[in-house]
Amino acid sequence: MSDNHVVVITTTDSEDAAATLARAVVEARLAACVQISAPVRGIYRWDGAVQDEREWQLWIKTTYDRLNALTEFVEANHPYDTPEVLALPVLGGSTDYLAWITAQTR
């Protein structure tokens, strides 16, 4: 069990925006790595209407103690007015990989 690590999910409206945000959070040591899934279909209600859009999903690997700073960074640097920022707990995994995440976020 790893109560020190989380995966944060967000989406953007373009591959370029996803890559820019991913690079920025890694350079700021707010995440060890980010994987970008190309494209996903987002269906959601916004401004009183159901939207159907292509989005790029980011899977951001970080530590729990960096979560607040990462959330603030994403909210300040994201192209959306109200970006998705969901933190999922990591329940376990490779000890070496989890240690690498910790080391890269310091």
Domain spans in the chain, listed from the N-terminal domain onward: 5-104
pLDDT digits (tens, 9 = 90+) for 9-57: 999 999 999 999 999 999 999 999 999 998 999 999 999 999 999 999 9
CA distance 46 to 91: 33
Average pLDDT estimate for 79-95: 94
Model pLDDT, residue 20:
97
CB 37 within 8 A of CB 59: yes
pLDDT of residue 38: 84
Q: pTM of the predicted model, to two decimals? A: 0.93
- Please give the sequence-ordered ranges of beta strands (E in DSSP) within 13-106, or none if there are none: 33-46, 49-63, 86-89
* pLDDT at residue 82 in the model: 93
Tens of pLDDT, residues 53-72: 999 999 999 999 999 999 99
Residue type, 11: T
Architecture of domain 5-104: 2-Layer Sandwich (3.30)
Angstrom distances, CA of residue 53 to CA of 24, 29, 65 = 24, 30, 33
Regarding predicted confidence, which is higher, 73 or 3? Answer: 73
